[in-house]
Amino acid sequence: MIYIDDLVGKPVPFRVEYPGNDPITVVGYGDAGLRPLCGGAENTTVIFSEGGWLWLPDLLRYYLIVDDEDISDV
């Protein structure tokens, strides 16, 4: 589980993973690719480098932040 306070102001890109799957890179938020997440924007989407997106509350509920220094695939 990720808490919203862990993401507000966190520089992007960063990696997250759904337990049991490969990590995926978060590159922004919302339709405009907002960087970084600002307070009060909890009902937005997360944009992934691979082209997909996810509703932020689902990311918080189901994913974990990955401590991965090498994010060269962005």
pLDDT of residue 41: 73
Q: Which domain holds residue 56?
A: 4-66
How many other CB atoms sit within 10 Å of the CB of residue 67? 7
Helices (H), the chain: 4-7, 56-62
Counted domains in the chain: 1
Q: Is residue 73 part of a domain?
A: no
| Separation of CA 63 from chain center | 9
The model carries a pTM of 0.83
Query: 32 in a domain, yes or no?
Result: yes
| CA 64/CA 27 separation, integer angstroms | 15
pLDDT tens profile 26-53: 999 987 677 778 777 778 999 999 889 9
Alpha-carbon torsion 39, 2, 10, 13, what sign? negative
